[in-house]
Structure 1
Amino acid sequence: MLRRTELAFIGIPLQSAYCSSKSACRGFFESTRAELIHEGSHVRMSMVHLPAVNTPQFDWCQTAMSHHPMPVPPIYQPEIPAKFILDAALDGRRDKIIGSWNKMLVLVAKFAPGLGNQYAAIGAWQAQLTQQTISPDRPVNLYQPADDENDHGAHGSFDDRAGGVMDPSFLKSLPKTAKTFCVAVAHTAKYKKLVWENQQRRG
């Protein structure tokens, strides 16, 4: 069972290493699954692509930013993907993308990757940062556990906005998201026009 995010399909700023690792896992899954089928193995592999999840990851990850990191909305509680992961392990499905928003992003990455790049460049930077500045005594789990003395559980600090696509905070952001999408479409069209003009000049 491999657990990945939609960032295996589409990259966003500030997450180059993270997105690279997810893409690598996706390639590993595809190759290994083909090998198992070739060998007639009874070992099953499934890949579940998670949405943004409210875990403690964002409370103690190493960051060079001045503001507290956060998952890009819509955000889900850990119990939601946990159910789908269990289902995939039991029924042996090949893969599962959790969340309608995730499915849309994957389609954009597949059929309009340039548009996905423009949208991520415009909208995904600030969407990963809260208004809260980083505390100097913020725990960091890069070199040692941040929860070795106390179990903080599965939930992070975004319980108040982890209602998925129906969360009020996410619904409130949709007009701004639509505007960002329109700007991304315009930038994509401008870029394609520039490429076409360059091709015409070169003959």
Structure 2
Amino acid sequence: MPIKLKPLVEQVLVVTGATSGNGLATVEEAVRRGAAVVAVSRNEAALIALRDRLATDSGRIAICVADVSDLAAVERVVDVAVGAFGHFDSWINNAGIGTYGTLDQVPVADHRRVFDVNYFGVLHGSLVAARHLRGRGGAIVNVGSILGDRTIIQQGPYSATKHAVQALTDTLRMELEHDGAGVSVTLIKPGAIDTPFPEHARNFMDQPPRLPPPLYAPQVVADAVLFACAHPRRTLYAGGGGLLSSILSQAAPRLTDAIMEWAGTGLQQKPTDPGNPFRRDNLYRPRAAALRGSQDVHARKSSLALQAQKPSSPVLVAGLLGAGLFLVAGRYMTRGRREGEGRSCRTEGDFDIADVRRGQCIRRPRGAHLSVVTRKRTSA
């Protein structure tokens, strides 16, 4: 069946990770726009407070306490949605946790915990939602990250889960399309967003963590998520800084590696502003919930790049795609010129040529002895 999504005001949404950051912004904005919401979180006290606050303003909201790493708990969410509203139309897999530190510093058990929530939580929600929506239509929206395109130093486990979520989302989309299920599957890729994530993450660095600039407000992600609930899209980038980072990483991966190695750790530390200590480390249990981080940062309230990905801005879409293609094309044209130079060196008629890389050649009369010149790298 073809994909036909309802207007947001007619929808019932399920939102995981609903009491903090991007999830909280999504719940608040969805209710403000007239949608009904089932808010899901581990934090029961925060859920009750959220329900009471939004219901006071005539918001339609139900709550469900669940850890998304537990499949049985995720299946109970469907019962809550059906009991409160009769069904749901869109399912947003947003819950996520993280760590700061090198791969060696983070204990293997913590690596697994990050995967349990960030990957298996999305898998659980996707399977449960697909079973409910198959044949009746709707949307599954997974909140990934630009770190699914480009990993960052000090966040290896988190980055690995976001790579896995991208693969999971693409596979789910193909399977549902193949079956004609009528379900839209979208991956949202936020850049750095001003949420409590740095305070909530378990930290193994010797300094308090932060997110590298530029930062965007959580409402930017909420805007992307809610747009995807009503308009089929494959991918939406939330934040131009993240989009440019992704383009750069594809066009010049080694340069991006070097930038990360040189500045990545420092950009993710804020020794003079550790944030709220009561939010510290929610890896295994919930902490104080909030919409934004408590560190003193500047966050942009809107994203031109996100608006450019909506149908009302085709010129901007073309411009962004053109810029990305220009960078990638430039990289491969440069590589092609170097490879072409090497080939032409070897085919000159009266000379034997020894290629010394980097487009340089040694020319000797044919039959004369050739000594191959090599350059050894020196380590710093």
TM-score > 0.5, shorter chain as reference: yes
For the residue of structure 2 that corresponds to 1:96, the secondary structure is strand
CA contact (8 A) 1:48 1:95 kept: yes
In the alignment, structure 1 segments of 5+ residues that lack a partner are: 167-195
Give, as a single letter, the amino acid of the residue that structure 1 aligns with 2:218. P
Residue 32 of structure 1: aligned partner: 172
Give the Å deviation of 1:134. Answer: 5.7
> What pairs with 1:171-182 in structure 2 (closer than 5 Å)?
none
CA contact (8 A) 1:67 1:132 kept: no
Correspondence 1:145 to 2:282: no
Distance 1:101 1:55 in 2: 16
Give the Å deviation of 1:163. Answer: 2.5
CA contact (8 A) 1:66 1:133 kept: no
> What pairs with 1:161-200 in structure 2 (closer than 5 Å)?
161-163=298-300
Alpha carbons of structure 1 residues 133 and 163: separation in structure 2 relative to 1, 3 Å: closer
Residue 222 of structure 2: aligned partner: 82
CA contact (8 A) 2:274 2:295 kept: no
Distance 1:165 1:96 in 2: 14
Q: Deviations over 1:156-203 (max 9, x none)?
A: 11454113799xxxxxxxxxxxxxxxxxxxxxxxxxxxxx58xx85xx
* Counterpart among 236, 252, 268 of residue 96 in structure 1: 236
Q: Deviations over 1:120-157 (max 9, x none)?
A: 1112210000023769x66321222112xxxx421111
Alpha carbons of structure 1 residues 94 and 158: separation in structure 2 relative to 1, 3 Å: same
Aligned length in residues: 168
For the residue of structure 2 that corresponds to 1:92, the secondary structure is coil
* Counterpart among 183, 189, 192 of residue 43 in structure 1: 183
Q: Deviations over 1:50-81 (max 9, x none)?
A: 01111112123211122211111111111111
CA contact (8 A) 1:76 1:163 kept: yes
The structure that is helix-richer by fraction is 1
Q: Deviations over 1:12-63 (max 9, x none)?
A: 1101101100000000111111111111110110111001111112123211
Give the Å deviation of 1:86. Answer: 0.5
CA contact (8 A) 1:54 1:159 kept: no
Correspondence 1:132 to 2:262: no
Give, as a single letter, the amino acid of the residue that structure 2 aligns with 1:35. E
Superposition TM-score, scaled by structure 2 size: 0.41
Distance 2:221 2:302 in 1: 14
Which entry has the higher C-alpha Rg, 1 or 2? 2
Alpha carbons of structure 1 residues 89 and 77: separation in structure 2 relative to 1, 3 Å: same
For the residue of structure 1 that corresponds to 2:189, the secondary structure is strand
Residue 200 of structure 2: aligned partner: 60
CA contact (8 A) 2:194 2:218 kept: yes
Correspondence 1:110 to 2:247: no
Give, as a single letter, the amino acid of the residue that structure 1 aligns with 2:282. N
Runs of 4+, deviation exceeding 3 Å: none
Superposition TM-score, scaled by structure 1 size: 0.73
Correspondence 1:155 to 2:302: no
Residue 16 of structure 1: aligned partner: 156
Distance 1:158 1:94 in 2: 33
CA RMSD of aligned residues (A): 2.7
Residue 191 of structure 1: aligned partner: none
For the residue of structure 2 that corresponds to 1:131, the secondary structure is coil
In the alignment, structure 2 segments of 5+ residues that lack a partner are: 1-140, 304-356, 359-372, 375-380
Give, as a single letter, the amino acid of the residue that structure 1 aligns with 2:300. G
Alpha carbons of structure 1 residues 159 and 132: separation in structure 2 relative to 1, 3 Å: closer
